[in-house]
């Protein structure tokens, strides 16, 4: 008994007309009638009866109908599941902060991986807690994050990137004009614009080194920060990996005395039940081979 015959049985139970079933399946009416006769021959019982121009199921047909519905439903679900797997194999969804998105773009890592794998990528940026929820719900394939949390049951974790923070200013900023290392104590006299995803780490570092970061402005946009700092008033602290060649000439890197700047870490997180572990493995290999 083929799946097509079971689908015909199910549709006859609904429409009670051979023509309607043929239209639903995109088939000719004689073809449907042929399969109806084949079904009866295979089962050795009469499954259909015609009354007042309608095709009704016999008692035997009614007995078979629930099984036909169940098998057809399961097959349809299997087709949808396989299509989802094929789609996810061709299209990879990444969640990260805009800092990591900038690093991936400037370093050319995603472009290289896409060329090697033939997979297209969509990158979703946003707040950490929302991206964590998206990972748990299967809305993204891989999450890049600064922290992994304590409960990582069912989640794979791997460090993929390290990059030192750098102190940046516009070329006409007073500290840039000094052409010498900056004393940490002088930072409190200037204003910073910080990335929201990095604020906690930077303030923790500053407190540990008895420094003060005065940050009246923050943003989750790398572009906004670069443009604001380029205006000459603000300083910023960003991972070296997040700044590409395009910002050179707009910002200068300053040296800081007395305290070593912190290091920015990024971890990849993914479900250990992911249907396309091979793509995750090759992506992480590409990233870890290019750690800053």
Instruction: Set out the domains of the chain in order of their start, with CATH numbers.
Output: 3-89 (1.10.10.10), 90-160+266-288 (3.40.190.10), 162-264 (3.40.190.290)
Helix (H) or strand (E) holding 250: none
Closest CA to 123 of 94, 99, 91: 94
**Quick one: average pLDDT of 99-125?**
84
Q: Phi-psi category of 220—alpha, beta or left, where left has phi over 0 and alpha has psi -120 to 50?
A: alpha
Report the mean per-residue pLDDT for the chain. 87
Give the max Cα distance, the chain. Answer: 99
* pLDDT at site 247: 65
Return the pLDDT at 147.
78
* Structural element, H or E, at residue 263: strand 263-271
Could you give the C-alpha distances from 82 to 35, 78, 105, 120, in angstroms and in order?
27, 6, 31, 18
Alpha carbon distance 257, 183 (integer Å): 5
Query: Residue 190: which pLDDT band, with cuts at 50, 70 and 90?
Result: very high
User: Which of 18-22, 75-79, 181-185 tops mean pLDDT?
Assistant: 18-22
pLDDT score of 292 more than 90: no
**d(C-alpha 12, C-alpha 35), whole Å:** 12
Confidence of residue 56 (pLDDT cuts 50, 70, 90): very high
- Whether 107 has a pLDDT exceeding 80, the answer reads no
- Pull the structure tokens for residue 52: 């007042």
Q: Does the structure show a pLDDT above 60 at 89?
A: no
Check residue 150 and give its pLDDT: 60
- Which residue's entry shows tokens 């969640």? 95
């Amino acid at each position: 008994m083929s799946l097509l015959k079971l689908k015909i049985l199910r549709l006859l139970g609904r429409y009670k007309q051979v023509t309607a079933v043929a239209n639903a399946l995109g088939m000719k009416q004689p073809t449907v009638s042929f399969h109806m006769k084949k079904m009866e021959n295979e089962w050795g019982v009469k499954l259909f009866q015609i009354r007042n121009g309608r095709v009704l199921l016999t008692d035997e047909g009614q007995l078979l109908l629930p099984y036909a519905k169940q098998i057809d439903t399961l097959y349809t679900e299997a087709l949808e599941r396989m299509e989802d797997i094929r789609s996810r194999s061709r299209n990879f969804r990444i969640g990260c902060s805009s800092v990591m998105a900038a690093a991936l773009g400037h370093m050319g890592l995603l472009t290289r991986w896409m060329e090697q794998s033939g997979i297209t990528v969509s990158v979703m940026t946003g707040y950490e807690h929302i991206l964590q929820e998206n990972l748990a719900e299967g809305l993204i394939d891989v999450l890049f994050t600064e922290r992994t949390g304590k409960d990582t049951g069912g989640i794979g974790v791997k460090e993929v990137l390290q990059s030192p923070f750098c102190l940046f200013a516009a070329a006409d900023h007073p500290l840039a004009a000094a052409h010498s290392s900056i004393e940490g104590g002088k930072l409190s006299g200037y204003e910073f614009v910080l990335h929201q995803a990095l604020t906690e780490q930077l303030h923790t570092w500053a407190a540990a080194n008895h420094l003060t970061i005065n940050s009246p402005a923050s943003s989750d946009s790398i572009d906004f920060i670069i443009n604001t700092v380029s205006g000459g008033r603000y300083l910023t602290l960003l991972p070296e990996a997040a700044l590409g060649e395009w910002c050179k000439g707009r910002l200068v890197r300053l040296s800081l005395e007395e305290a070593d700047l912190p290091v920015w870490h990024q971890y990849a997180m993914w479900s250990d039940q992911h249907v396309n572990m091979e793509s995750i493995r090759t992506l992480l290999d590409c990233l870890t081979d290019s750690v800053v």
